[in-house]
Structure 1
Amino acid sequence: MKWWWKLRTEPQHLWAEVISSLHHLSTKPIDVYSKKSLSGVWNNIAGIRKALDKKGIPVTSILSKPISPHGASWRCELSPDGTYTVRALRQRLDYRPHNNVEKFCWLKVFPLKVNCFIWRAAMGRIPVAVELSKRGVSVETKNCLMCNEGEESTDHVLVDCPYARRVFEGVFGWCGMSMEPFHSVKELVDSASRWGRCQKKRELLLAIYYGTIWCIWKSRNERVFKKILHPKLKVIDFIKSMTYLWVKNTGEIIRMDWATWSQCPLL
């Protein structure tokens, strides 16, 4: 974008005149910056349009040429004074809204890597077979190796796979709750925020959900990389012990012994 800005605001420079002449920009619309039939570095620079379009940012929302009483002049819509800066574009990219994670709850009782994983999973940005294939990574199969009944997408492997559902059934039974109908990580996380009236218990339930998702993912990795499929009960036991240690060590949510926790954590 910096070179687009320089091309439009400094047309008298020799390099700008050469680019304009080679690509016949004087006869093209103002939002066209290259001639597609020509190869070279400038066409690579002009290709930033596709990258911006994928992020939902049209070029005209960055560079425009409005007409005023003083004439038409180029300005950048990202800054108050109309001058383009790399920092302004960086801020525009960073502050795009992410609808799936606007209300994501970061739990201090869990390690940062677990919080980051759940956050990425809620956006569908973890390295499952379907996502890797979309990015051009060669995978042996896009099928879920935990069940062989569907493609390995984020929501499938973590919540919708029969294996994951059996684990969640065990976790819900341990918590003394009936199984809820959910089909995505976001639905699961959102359900915890609406559960019950006690804030502490809601946070505890969310911690159990996060721990369950994390353990299912670890089990998936064992299956993919070591060809080991852990029994459901073993995974549930690990969820109980892992979440207890993490939650108990902070002392912010619960104060109960292991015997009580292992029977029903939401008493």
Structure 2
Amino acid sequence: MLAKWWWRFKTEKDGLWRRVVWAIHHNSRGWKDIPTKVSIPGPWKSITSIRSILLQAGLDLEKATSAELGNGKNICFWLDCWAGNEPFYVMFPELFRAEKHKGCLVQDRLVTNGPNLIFSWAWLTPELGDIEADQLNQVVGLICGSSGLNMSSGMDRWQWTLDGGGSFSVASIKKTLSSVNRVRPGKAFEWNNWVPKKVGIVAWRAEMERLPTRCALAARSIPVNDRTCIMCGSYDESSEHLLVSCQFAQMVWQNIALWCSIPPIIAFDLKDMLTLHEVCTVSGKKKKVLHAVILVAIWSIWKSRNEAVFQQKSPNMTKTLDEIKAMAYLWVKNRSRSMTLTWEDWSKFKI
């Protein structure tokens, strides 16, 4: 997703956001097609730093974009790659230093006269030196000798070379990276599109111990007066304790086991709970429903915990179970498009 902003910075020359970024990060003493000032923290610094990370996987964002010349109104003459393997400011640095308007567009330097191209230059000095003159001849030769280079009245087109369609897509980067020999986690978190993302995110963060439990806050040097679990008052509150081994959570899981007609749930950690649907002897569709119920239960327990902490509400087992059944029913029924699913069948877990 960060790489997408490289594509947008290249293709949206008139965008207000691009002009703001250019005004903040451009340095006239060190020209770059995508500028960044490392001394300025923020999202743009993270966006530009993604290139070095992708280079380790053999993916160069600067070479993944190419321009097809049209009217020259959306391509920078010096800063964009359009008539060679690299931008002209990289290939001909001495000549670029002699340029008066370094951010000029192709239409500012090229004019069509029938089949011929007429160059319009603007230099800082009346005459060029020998090195600059030699590089100028190379630029002219490169442009005139480029096969397929034809200036027209049509719009300039930008091509994303990693995708056959020519337009940027996150999937194309993902596909490219998947071919690189990278270390992958043994078990990736399993998402379920039958529940909202906010529900899955709670379980995803809990598995990584990223929920702001009292133990997690204390580990981040945030003052916590009492680390004891507010739901049971017996042990320190971590994600694993709160959602698995806490007395309140265990009562929730055993009631869910009775409702779903599965063996009593015995889980030693949160991963056991998140993979419970895989080991239960239920049908394919029922597996996904059970997984959705587990995610909703984790979300509801966390919600009950927050109500106890911030609203001083006493944990209510009946309310939590009713909420799990009702919310899971509404989400599964509407998101799975199982219009024949009735509340009566759901209450008996007849899927």
Same structural fold, with TM-score higher than 0.5 when normalized by the shorter chain: yes
Q: Is the Cα contact below 8 Å between 1:172 and 1:178 reproduced in 2?
A: yes
Q: 2:301 is matched with which residue?
A: 216
Of 133, 143, 146, the residue aligned with 2:231 is 146
Q: Residue type matched to 1:265 in 2?
A: F
Deviations, residues 110-163 of structure 1 (Å, cap 9, x unaligned)? 111111111111111111011110111111211101101100011100111001
- The alignment status of 1:166 with 2:251, answered yes or no, reads yes
Q: What pairs with 1:175-190 in structure 2 (closer than 5 Å)?
A: 175-190=260-275
My pick for the range that moved more, 244-253 or 208-217, is 244-253
**C-alpha RMSD of the superposition:** 2.6
Cα distance change on mapping 1:191 and 1:253 into 2, 3 Å: farther
User: How many residues matched?
Assistant: 179
d(CA) in 2 for partners of 1:80, 1:214: 40
- The alignment status of 1:128 with 2:245, answered yes or no, reads no
Cα distance change on mapping 1:129 and 1:155 into 2, 3 Å: same
d(CA) in 2 for partners of 1:193, 1:114: 19
Deviations, residues 199-232 of structure 1 (Å, cap 9, x unaligned)? 1110011011111111000000011111112321
Q: 2:240 is matched with which residue?
A: 155
Q: 1:137 is matched with which residue?
A: 222
Q: Residue type matched to 1:153 in 2?
A: S
Cα distance change on mapping 1:195 and 1:146 into 2, 3 Å: same
Q: 2:311 is matched with which residue?
A: 226
Of 280, 288, 300, the residue aligned with 1:195 is 280
d(CA) in 2 for partners of 1:122, 1:135: 17
Cα distance change on mapping 1:240 and 1:79 into 2, 3 Å: closer
Per the TM alignment, residue 255 of structure 1 is displaced from its structure 2 partner at its CA by 3.6
User: Unaligned 5+ residue runs, structure 2?
Assistant: 1-51, 60-176
Q: Is the Cα contact below 8 Å between 1:203 and 1:253 reproduced in 2?
A: no
Q: Is the Cα contact below 8 Å between 1:247 and 1:254 reproduced in 2?
A: no
Q: Is the Cα contact below 8 Å between 2:229 and 2:237 reproduced in 1?
A: yes
Over 6 Å off, 4+ runs: none
Q: Residue type matched to 2:279 in 1?
A: R
Q: 1:265 is matched with which residue?
A: 349
Give TM-score scaled by structure 2 length. Answer: 0.47
Q: SS of the counterpart of 2:275?
A: helix
d(CA) in 1 for partners of 2:183, 2:223: 30
Q: Residue type matched to 2:349 in 1?
A: P
Q: Is the Cα contact below 8 Å between 2:244 and 2:268 reproduced in 1?
A: yes
Q: Residue type matched to 2:317 in 1?
A: K
Give TM-score scaled by structure 1 length. Answer: 0.61
d(CA) in 2 for partners of 1:236, 1:254: 23
Per the TM alignment, residue 98 of structure 1 is displaced from its structure 2 partner at its CA by 4.1
d(CA) in 1 for partners of 2:305, 2:58: 50
Q: Is the Cα contact below 8 Å between 1:125 and 1:131 reproduced in 2?
A: yes
Q: SS of the counterpart of 1:261?
A: helix
User: Unaligned 5+ residue runs, structure 1?
Assistant: 1-61, 63-76, 82-90
Deviations, residues 151-199 of structure 1 (Å, cap 9, x unaligned)? 0011100111001111111111111223121032211111212222521
Q: SS of the counterpart of 2:199?
A: helix
Of 314, 328, 334, the residue aligned with 1:249 is 334
Q: Residue type matched to 2:327 in 1?
A: M
d(CA) in 1 for partners of 2:204, 2:336: 23
Q: Is the Cα contact below 8 Å between 1:201 and 1:266 reproduced in 2?
A: no
